[in-house]
Amino acid sequence: MSIGHTLLGLLESGPRHGYDLKRAFDEHFGQDRPLHYGQVYSTMSRLLKNGLVEVDGVEAGAGPERKRYAITDAGITDVAQWLARPEKPEPYLQSTLYTKVVLALMTDRDAAELLDTQRAEHLRLMRGLTERKRTGDLADQLICDHALFHLEADLRWLELTAARLDKLAEAVGG
């Protein structure tokens, strides 16, 4: 999963401090693996360097200064491109796809369109494997079958998620 894009997506709804970003990330996507503070700050400094976020304000306090980050126009474009680009089908893709779907809903983008584009990408790969099976020997068939069953599992998840988009939108407040 791309932590940079996820943090950018979270910033689209408004500027946040690094701490708020971590909390939002953990709440929506960090069930299995909460983000370390270090990851947040290293990611934000990279995004800052690349012009995808800017510092919106600095609060001085007892501890270190607290920067508040805002997404730039270039950042918004970057998130839009990431969401629109289908993922290369691979095992354990679900966490990335789940993140994309949730962020699309949170940012009022078309999550159904995202799922349709991903389905088309999966099917494109499945067609290639099916053709390889048709012309290949038994070993080819078995190897392709293994990949096909994994891709099919992803697709079943996509269909189920598509059917539950309204509920998911309610749950994430999109």
Partner 1 sequence: MTPEGSLLAAEGLRKAYGPTPALDGADFSIHPGEVVAVMGPSGSGKSTLLHCLAGIIRPDSGTVRYGTHALTELTDAQRSALRRTDFGFVFQFGQLVPELTCLENVALPLRLNGTKRKDAERQARDWLAQLEVDGVDGQRPGEISGGQGQRVAVARALATRPRVIFADEPTGALDSLNGERVLTLLTNAARDTNAAVVLVTHEARVAAYSDREIVVRDGRVKDMAGRI
* 3-state secondary structure at position 164: coil
**Which CB, 56 or 110, lies closer to partner 1?**
110
- Token pair recorded at residue 86: 């289908």
d(CA 37, CA 22): 7
Q: Which stretch binds partner 1 (CB under 8 A): 14-22, 28-36, 49-57, 125-133?
A: 125-133
Helices (H), the chain: 3-11, 18-29, 37-49, 73-84, 94-106, 111-135, 138-163, 165-172
* 3-state secondary structure at position 67: strand
One symbol per residue from 153 to 172: x for binding partner 1 (CB under 8 A), - otherwise; what is it? --xx--x--xx---------
**Which CB, 78 or 154, lies closer to partner 1?**
154
Q: Out of 52, 71, 93, 151, point to the residue binding partner 1 (CB under 8 A).
A: 151
| 90 is a contact residue toward partner 1 (CB under 8 A) | no
C-alpha dist (Å) from residue 61 to 38, 58, 64: 20, 10, 7
| 122 is a contact residue toward partner 1 (CB under 8 A) | yes
**Which CB, 1 or 155, lies closer to partner 1?**
155
| Residue owning tokens 């401090």 | 17
| 129 is a contact residue toward partner 1 (CB under 8 A) | yes
Binding site for partner 1 (CB under 8 A): 86, 112, 116-117, 119-124, 126-127, 129-130, 134, 148, 151-152, 155-156, 159, 162-163
